[in-house]
């Protein structure tokens, strides 16, 4: 893939611009990825040629729209190696998917005295639903400790996950520390105690091969906009038997079988969980994004990003007064790197980098408990994707040094 990096980059028109008179270096991919021209064109194409509501319509446009909508579901099924296409539920995104699990499976299966186990590194989307469910059901919420590099500690997990545990929910990849957590081992541990395994795949599915059958997770949630697709579309994967047993959480059109005056029967999977008119264009174009990613190859993307991290992380670690969080060994790190400059607020650091054309994120990254665990209020975060280059990495390093000098001396 190395010799094709520029080819892929040229597919993304937004990257060909200047910010503050500098060439844009976009390193906020953990928040959202940019879209290739082909994906932008596909959105226009749908609305110009095929726009109609899905299912039940017998006219040509409705049939074309429905065919593409369901074909995208099959693409996504194969992309994560789900066993059945009806295990793929369209949602608004990772947050929506995790909330559906909590509101449906959680409400039905969590009772007073039960335990829900998560970790200190969870995004708020994989923390608050379980926190609030535990409060409502008088259950116990437990946190797995992190090891010295920031990985979920398997030894502590063995202590925290007990026969009282009903749900274990962990981020596959941390959106702050860039670690890949051992979710396959955690799933085995959860199942050993009769619990289900929920995986927040927002930062893993776009960057590496993910096989839900190999992981043996019971649920997986991820977002389209973090993998080249539009905002407002995401996926909830769940094992068929679990989804069949779960009640719907939203009511209205499409999710019904038959409505009587005083009772209603529910539709089959996956439509039971897809009330109302869905994000049709978003789902179809997410399928196109899957095609684009598979053309490159998820293992190729993962390997290329690892090379970028292996290149830039040692350079960052050599900058005086720069604190890098998470593992310092590039082999243990994904393309998410969080850092702070000593005595400089991360917002000031991010503003300084923006003046150099470098887009990073600064704040608590929707992971305030993790910030507390790290002993900081916030960090700056650079996150790479396959369209980033070694030159982008060099610009990041140079811009951090320039920003440091500016705030130290008042000049760049």
Parts of the chain belonging to CATH 3.90.1150.10? 2-31+297-409
Q: Which two tokens stand for residue 196?
A: 């289900």
The DSSP code sequence of 76-139 is HHHHTT-S-GGGEEEESSHHHHHHHHIIIIIHHH--TT-EEEEETT--GGGTHHHHHHHHHHT-
380 Cβ contact list (under 8 Å, min separation 6): 338, 339, 340, 341, 346, 349, 350, 353, 360, 361, 362
Residue 176 half-sphere exposure toward CB, CA atoms < 13 A: 27
Q: Which two tokens stand for residue 371?
A: 């910030």
Catalytic residue among 40, 52, 366, 401: 366
Backbone angles phi, psi at 67, to 5 degrees: -60, -45
pTM of the model: 0.96
Residue 388 CB burial class (10 angstroms; 0-12, 13-18, ≥19): buried
How far CA 127 is from CA of 132, 140, 142, 203, 392, in Å, comes to 9, 13, 11, 16, 33
In 161-297, alpha helices (H) = 183-192, 212-215, 240-245, 280-296
How far CA 269 is from CA of 84, 243, 273, in Å, comes to 10, 8, 7
Nearest to 177 by CA among 310, 32, 338, 331: 338
Residue 366 annotated as catalytic:
yes
Q: Strand runs (DSSP E) across 188-303, as ranges?
A: 196-200, 219-223, 234-238, 256-259, 264-266
How far CA 232 is from CA of 90, 177, 178, in Å, comes to 10, 25, 24
Residues linked to residue 282 through DSSP beta bridges, in sequence order: none
Helix (H) or strand (E) holding 301: helix 298-317
Give me the pLDDT at residue 412, please. 44
* Beta pairing class for 196-200 and 165-171: parallel
Q: What tens digit of pLDDT does each residue of 328-357 get?
A: 999 999 999 999 999 899 999 999 999 999
For the 2-31+297-409 domain, the top CATH level (class) is: alpha beta
pLDDT (tens, 9 = 90+) of the chain, 412 residues, equals: 454 556 899 999 999 999 999 999 999 999 999 999 999 999 999 999 999 999 988 999 999 999 999 999 999 999 999 999 999 999 999 999 999 999 999 999 999 999 999 999 999 999 999 999 999 999 999 999 999 999 999 999 999 999 999 999 999 999 999 999 999 999 999 999 999 999 999 999 999 999 999 999 999 999 999 999 999 999 999 999 999 999 999 999 889 899 999 999 999 999 999 999 999 999 999 999 999 999 999 999 999 999 999 999 999 999 999 999 999 999 999 999 999 999 899 999 999 999 999 999 999 999 999 999 999 999 999 999 999 999 999 999 999 999 999 888 765 4
343 Cβ contact list (under 8 Å, min separation 6): 321
Nearest to 151 by CA among 171, 166, 123, 136: 171
Domain 40-295 has CATH 3.40.640.10: yes
Euclidean distance between CA atoms 64 and 14, whole angstroms? 30
142 Cβ contact list (under 8 Å, min separation 6): 115, 116, 117, 118, 160, 165
Give me the pLDDT at residue 407, please. 86
Q: Tell me what percent of the residues of the chain surpass a pLDDT of 90.
A: 94
Rg (CA), the chain: 22
Question: Could you report how far apart the first and last alpha carbons of the chain are, in Å?
Answer: 36
Give me the pLDDT at residue 2, please. 54
């Amino acid at each position: 893939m190395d010799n094709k990096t520029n080819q892929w980059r040229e597919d993304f028109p937004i990257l060909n611009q200047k910010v503050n008179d500098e060439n844009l270096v976009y390193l906020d991919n953990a928040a959202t990825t940019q879209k290739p021209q082909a994906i932008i064109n596909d959105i226009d194409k749908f609305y110009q040629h095929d726009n109609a509501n899905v299912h039940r319509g017998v006219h040509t446009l409705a049939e074309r729209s429905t065919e593409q909508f369901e074909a995208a579901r099959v693409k996504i099924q194969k992309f994560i190696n789900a066993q059945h296409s009806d295990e793929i539920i369209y949602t608004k995104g990772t947050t929506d998917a995790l909330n559906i699990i909590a509101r449906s499976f959680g409400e039905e299966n969590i009772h007073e005295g039960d335990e829900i186990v998560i970790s200190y590194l969870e995004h708020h989307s994989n923390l608050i639903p379980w926190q609030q469910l535990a409060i409502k059901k008088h259950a116990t919420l437990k946190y797995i400790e992190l090891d010295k590099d920031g990985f979920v500690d398997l030894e502590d997990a063995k202590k925290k996950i007990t026969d009282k545990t009903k749900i274990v929910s962990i981020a596959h990849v941390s959106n702050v520390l860039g670690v890949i957590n051992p979710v396959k081992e955690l799933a085995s541990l959860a199942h050993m105690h009769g619990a289900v395994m929920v995986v927040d795949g927002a930062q893993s599915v776009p960057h590496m091969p993910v096989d839900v059958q190999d992981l043996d997770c019971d649920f997986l949630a991820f977002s389209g906009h973090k993998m080249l697709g539009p905002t407002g579309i995401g996926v909830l994967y769940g094992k068929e038997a679990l989804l069949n047993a779960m009640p719907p959480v939203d009511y209205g059109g499409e999710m019904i079988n038959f409505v009587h005056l005083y009772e209603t029967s529910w539709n089959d999977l996956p439509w039971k969980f897809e009330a109302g008119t869905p994000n049709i264009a978003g789902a179809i174009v997410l399928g196109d994004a899957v095609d684009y990613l598979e053309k490159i190859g998820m293992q190729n993307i993962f390997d290329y990003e690892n090379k970028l991290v292996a290149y830039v992380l040692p350079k960052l670690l050599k900058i005086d007064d720069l604190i890098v969080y998470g593992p310092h060994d590039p082999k243990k790190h994904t393309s998410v790197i969080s850092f702070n400059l000593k005595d400089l607020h991360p917002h000031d650091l991010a503003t300084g980098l923006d003046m150099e054309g470098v887009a990073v994120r600064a704040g608590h990254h929707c992971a305030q408990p993790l910030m507390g665990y790290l002993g900081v209020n916030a960090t700056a975060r650079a996150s790479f994707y396959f369209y980033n280059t070694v030159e982008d990495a060099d610009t990041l390093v140079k811009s951090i040094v320039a920003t440091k000098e500016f705030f130290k001396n008042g000049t760049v």
